[in-house]
């Protein structure tokens, strides 16, 4: 058993602390937000993550997991301290490190014995060296410490599984012994350990997220081409994914990526490149395609409604950026709803778990109690988050409640033929061949001749 302190009780901090406690360690989580800590002590979670509440409760009862606002209490007897604070994007995309700075300064002020300080937050390349400089500068007396980069690779909605069954764990430091000690904390997970220098470790995180975002933008651009040429992107992706060199992951065309990681990390990596005199062409294209994909959904809605959404009622299914989370940060639904509302539409929306967050963030949108209330008298229904709940809806009932049977499936979760048999006018993403032999006005047939000007 190790004594571990985790600074920050947000998404990464709370999951990290709880999982380490479940592995048999003694973990104290520190957060300066008194209200959040008070609620955690009462068993109230600040985020929605499947299985997390039960895991927290079990480890609190076992006295392996504690919460406090006191750095002194958190650092007492700790050998390892994880910095798991937010690094939001500034206007230019640069990561804002004010919370990392504050955590590093306070650790330096309060530490009274040797520590291994681990950067778990996603931070720009070079931050580990910067944190070490802060600690050296702020310490009132020289106490040994080492800084290790240990980036997180947790997916919202499956974070506990990702922590307990990682593809790999990455550890970077100028102090190889310290990096190995942190790697030993993860040894029980039986995953490959990548031990490297601190800057390479920090870069692995950004490069990984940028690559995954690139796959999403790639298949979304292919979806646009599919619509024009009369192909079905879902079958294209399936055919591609069977190639072992490509694989099926992150090839689901839809409304684009969102959340707290991909948008921020791609933008931050592009900013780092620009700052050092480079032109990140691919990263810029990834971001441009992602923005365009959201506009495409609004365009589909306008086209179905004859060119304008003014005074039309548009129902939105799903607000969270993905299923199994209440996170609406950078959610495509927010952009799409605001666009439609600004164009004069009456927008109403529902999400299974993100309603409380939506109520705080969204103005000019009616929030409904369930999916059927969203469909009531709607001129068009738009699916934006692929919750299982939406896959099991009584679509015949939905159609009967709508003013017009118009359906935009932004996640391709419905079968086009089945929806059309029910009487819907169906539009998916990249499903250019609509089963009626027409794709954007051109014959969609295997022997169709090229059209001049296409």
Q: Strands, E, within 292-358: which ranges?
A: 313-317, 346-350
Residues 6+ apart with CB under 8 A from 54: none
User: What mean pLDDT comes out for the span 128-151?
Assistant: 96
How far apart are alpha carbons 201 and 206 in whole angstroms?
A: 9
User: What mean pLDDT comes out for the span 67-91?
Assistant: 93
Residues 6+ apart with CB under 8 A from 32: 69
| Catalytic residue check, 261 | yes
Could you read off the pLDDT of 370-416 as tens digits, one per residue?
Answer: 999 999 999 999 999 999 999 999 999 999 999 999 999 999 999 99
Domain borders along the chain are: 3-196, 210-443
pLDDT higher than threshold 90 for residue 361: no
pLDDT higher than threshold 80 for residue 203: yes
* pLDDT band with cut points at 50, 70 and 90 for residue 427: very high
Please report how many Cα atoms fall inside a 13 Å half-sphere around the Cα of residue 225, on the Cβ side.
9
pLDDT for the residue numbered 260: 87
pLDDT for the residue numbered 42: 94
pLDDT for the residue numbered 453: 37
pLDDT higher than threshold 50 for residue 451: no
pLDDT for the residue numbered 91: 74
User: What mean pLDDT comes out for the span 301-315?
Assistant: 96
pLDDT higher than threshold 90 for residue 135: yes
pLDDT higher than threshold 60 for residue 162: yes
* pLDDT band with cut points at 50, 70 and 90 for residue 208: very high
Instruction: Give CATH superfamily name and number for 210-443.
Output: NAD(P)-binding Rossmann-like Domain (3.40.50.720)
How far apart are alpha carbons 354 and 167 in whole angstroms?
A: 29
Average pLDDT, whole number, for the chain?
A: 93
Rg of the chain on CA atoms, in Å? 24
How far apart are alpha carbons 191 and 165 in whole angstroms?
A: 7
User: What mean pLDDT comes out for the span 307-326?
Assistant: 96
User: What mean pLDDT comes out for the span 56-84?
Assistant: 96
pTM of this prediction? Answer: 0.90
Contact 189, 169 (CB under 8 A): yes
pLDDT for the residue numbered 93: 79
Q: Whose structure tokens read 């720009």? A: 124
Strand partners, 149: 119, 172
| C-alpha pair distances (Å), 399 with each of 46, 124, 261, 402 | 37, 49, 36, 5
Q: Do domains 3-196 and 210-443 have the same CATH topology?
A: yes
Could you read off the pLDDT of 323-342 as tens digits, one per residue?
Answer: 999 999 999 999 999 999 99
pLDDT higher than threshold 70 for residue 450: no
How far apart are alpha carbons 353 and 364 in whole angstroms?
A: 20
Could you read off the pLDDT of 241-292 as tens digits, one per residue?
Answer: 999 999 999 999 999 999 989 999 999 999 999 999 999 999 999 999 999 9
Of the listed 19, 84, 226, 261, which one is catalytic? Answer: 261
pLDDT for the residue numbered 433: 62
pLDDT higher than threshold 70 for residue 190: yes
Identify which of 113, 114, 124, 183 has the alpha carbon closest to the alpha carbon of residue 148: 183
pLDDT for the residue numbered 363: 86
Contact 268, 93 (CB under 8 A): yes
Instruction: Give CATH superfamily name and number for 3-196.
Output: NAD(P)-binding Rossmann-like Domain (3.40.50.720)
Q: What percent of the chain has pLDDT over 70?
A: 95
pLDDT for the residue numbered 168: 97
Contact 20, 57 (CB under 8 A): no
How far apart are alpha carbons 336 and 196 in whole angstroms?
A: 42
């Amino acid at each position: 058993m190790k004594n571990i302190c985790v600074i920050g009780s947000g998404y990464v901090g709370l999951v990290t602390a709880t999982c380490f406690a479940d592995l048999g360690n003694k973990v104290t989580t520190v957060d300066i937000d008194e209200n959040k800590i008070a609620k955690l002590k009462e068993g109230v979670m600040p985020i929605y993550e499947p299985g997390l509440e039960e895991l927290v409760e079990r480890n609190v009862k076992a006295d392996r997991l504690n919460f406090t606002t006191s750095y002194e209490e958190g650092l007492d007897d700790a050998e390892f301290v994880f910095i798991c604070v937010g690094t939001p994007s500034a206007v230019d995309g640069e990561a804002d490190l004010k919370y990392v700075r504050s955590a590093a300064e306070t650790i330096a002020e309060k530490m009274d014995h040797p520590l291994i300080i681990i950067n778990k937050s996603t931070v720009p390349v070079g931050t580990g060296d910067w944190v070490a400089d802060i600690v050296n500068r702020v310490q009132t007396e020289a106490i040994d410490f080492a800084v290790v980069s240990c980036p997180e690779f947790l997916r919202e909605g499956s974070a506990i599984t990702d922590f307990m069954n990682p593809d790999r764990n990455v550890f970077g430091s100028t102090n190889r012994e310290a990096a190995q000690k942190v790697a030993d904390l993860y040894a029980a997970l039986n995953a490959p350990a990548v031990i490297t220098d601190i800057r390479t470790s920090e870069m692995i995180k950004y490069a990984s997220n940028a690559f995954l975002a690139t796959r999403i933008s790639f298949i979304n651009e292919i979806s646009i081409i599919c619509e024009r040429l009369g192909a079905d992107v879902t079958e294209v992706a399936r055919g591609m994914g069977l190639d072992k060199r490509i694989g099926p992951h992150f090839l689901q065309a839809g409304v684009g990526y969102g959340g707290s990681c991909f948008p921020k990390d791609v933008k931050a990596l592009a900013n780092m490149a620009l700052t050092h005199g480079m032109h990140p062409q691919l990263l810029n294209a990834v971001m441009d395609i992602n923005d365009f994909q959201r506009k495409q959904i609004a365009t589909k809605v306008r086209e179905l409604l004859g060119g304008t959404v003014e005074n039309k009622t548009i129902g939105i299914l799903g607000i969270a950026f993905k299923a199994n989370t209440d996170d609406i940060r950078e959610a495509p639904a927010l952009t799409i709803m605001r666009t439609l509302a600004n164009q004069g539409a009456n927008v109403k929306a529902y999400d299974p778990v993100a309603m409380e967050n939506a109520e705080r963030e969204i103005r000019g949108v009616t929030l409904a109690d369930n999916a059927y209330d969203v469909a009531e008298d709607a001129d068009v229904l738009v699916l934006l988050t692929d919750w299982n709940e939406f896959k099991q809806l009584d679509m015949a009932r939905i159609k009967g409640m709508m003013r017009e049977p118009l359906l935009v499936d932004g996640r391709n979760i419905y079968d086009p033929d089945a929806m059309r048999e029910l009487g819907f006018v169906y539009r998916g993403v990249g499903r250019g061949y609509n089963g009626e032999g027409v794709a954007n006005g051109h014959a969609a047939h295997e022997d169709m001749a090229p059209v001049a000007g296409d």
